Copies of this chain bind each other. A is one copy, B any other.
Amino acid sequence: MIHLESDYNNGAHEAVLRHLLETNDERSQSYGDDRFSQQARELIRAACQTPEAQIWFLAGGTQTNATIIDCVLQPFEGVLCADTAHINVHEAGAVEFTGHKVIALPSHEGKLDARDLRKWLDAYFADDTAEHMVRPGMVYITFPTELGTLYSAQELTALHDICQEYNLQLYIDGARLAYGLAASTDMTLPQLARLADVFYIGGTKCGALCGEAVVFPKGDAPSHMLSRIKRHGALLAKSRVVGVQFEAMFQRENNTLFYLNIGKHAVALAMRLRSLFVERLGYKPFIDSPTNQQFYVIPNKDLDALRQQIGFEVWCPVDESHTACRFVTSWATTEDEIAELERLTRKMITR
């Protein structure tokens, strides 16, 4: 059985766990003032080429989104996003719980289109009744998106430019950032850090036990962030636990960021999966995703056979005889598993 249900079904990457082990007995400050977190911040600043960046370590993705969005927005402001955005669909209303409206625009394979955004903003600012409406204060995007797709440098720059023009914060949810950076042909971490006003580097889905790193690349975070984070219940007493893990993930390994290598491993295996599904089995991609989340249109007659070999997620029905399914590789997926899958599917074909 090969598990491709999601990228958060294992513990931590071996290197991350090892660093937790080797630092375990060293006493340290709490609430983020420890040596490990300080060092992790330095490594992240260097990797982002943002020497002024302010960085906080939080426990999970929904927590990070709700906390950061609420901290950055004015009380009367809302956040714009694609209607497929995680904050709009799968966070149980955590952003609304903090009092802010999530304003959903049409998504295009998971992405927010700059033209849709501009059109909405122009309509808002032209509206005589705008003061009776929720004011836009932020644009939220995911990189990669919930559908595994990526913004090109040009697309992201277009969103960034509109945000500048309309005085909005651009926030990038990088829950799966390692996979996105590994797969992108034209986006790097420093470039992303230049375009975003605030973003987070995902740990939980990219090799850590838990934890996300929030980065204000320009060092212009709101005042009193510690109090704000604590008020959201998001301040870890032993914040070092996340710091240590990011210290491990932001080491350099063969001249590359280890975090990036984690992503590359999973993306390479995802591409082998794609070859297998598309070229060998003749499945059509449901979405053309270059990252570790792969979506295919599976003939219903094959579902049972696949289920015996692979753990995966049914996404949605496509037509009477086909179902879109999601297959996710991760840092924990092994070469052997994909090779085994290639072997197994050979049988499926000859069946």
Which residues of A are at the interface with B, using a C-beta cutoff of 8 A?
3, 6, 8-12, 14, 17, 20-21, 23-31, 59-67, 70-71, 74-76, 78, 89-94, 96-102, 104, 128-129, 131-135, 204-205, 209-210, 223-224, 226-228, 230-238, 240-241, 244, 311, 313-314, 332
* CB atoms of A62 and B235 under 8 A apart: yes
Residue in B closest to A245 when the chains form the complex, CB atoms = B209
Residue of A23, A102, A132, A236 with most partner-chain B CB within 10 A: A132
A178 → chain B closest CB, angstroms: 15
Instruction: Please tell me if the beta carbons of A60 and B233 are within 8 angstroms of each other in the complex.
Output: yes
CA distance A47 to B310 in the complex (A): 38
A18 to B10, CA, bound (A): 16
Bound-state CA distance A100–B100 (Å) is: 9
Complex contact B20–A94 (CB within 8 A): no
| CA distance in complex: A67, B59 (Å) | 15
Contact pick for A96, options B26, B31, B71, B99, CB 8 Å: B99
6 further interface pairs, Cβ-Cβ under 8 Å (given A11-B20, A96-B134): A3-B27, A11-B25, A25-B332, A94-B232, A135-B227, A204-B236
Partner of A233, one of B17, B63, B236: B63
Q: Which of A27, A93, A100, A232 has the most CB of B within 10 A?
A: A93
CA of A237 to CA of B204, assembled, Å: 8
CB-based contact A76/B59 at 8 Å: no
Report yes or no: B28 in contact with A231, Cβ–Cβ below 8 A. Answer: no
25 pairs of residues in contact across A and B, judged by CB atoms under 8 Å: A9-B27, A11-B20, A11-B24, A11-B25, A59-B60, A60-B235, A62-B230, A62-B235, A63-B233, A76-B92, A76-B228, A78-B93, A90-B132, A91-B132, A92-B235, A93-B231, A94-B231, A94-B232, A96-B99, A96-B100, A97-B99, A131-B230, A205-B237, A210-B238, A210-B241
**A-B pairs with lowest CB-CB distance, top 4:** A11-B24, A63-B233, A92-B230, A93-B134
Contact across chains for A210 and B230 when beta carbons are under 8 A apart: no
- CB–CB A227/B92 < 8 A: yes
Q: Across the interface, do A133 and B96 meet the contact criterion of CB distance under 8 Å?
A: no
- Report the separation of the CA atoms of residues A119 and B104 in the bound assembly, to the nearest whole angstrom: 19
Which residues of B lie under 8 Å from residue A63 when comparing CB positions?
A: 63, 233-234
In the complex, residue of chain B having the shortest beta-carbon distance to the beta carbon of A9? B27
Do B131 and A226 touch (CB < 8 A)? yes
Residue contact B30 to A6, C-beta cutoff 8 Å: yes
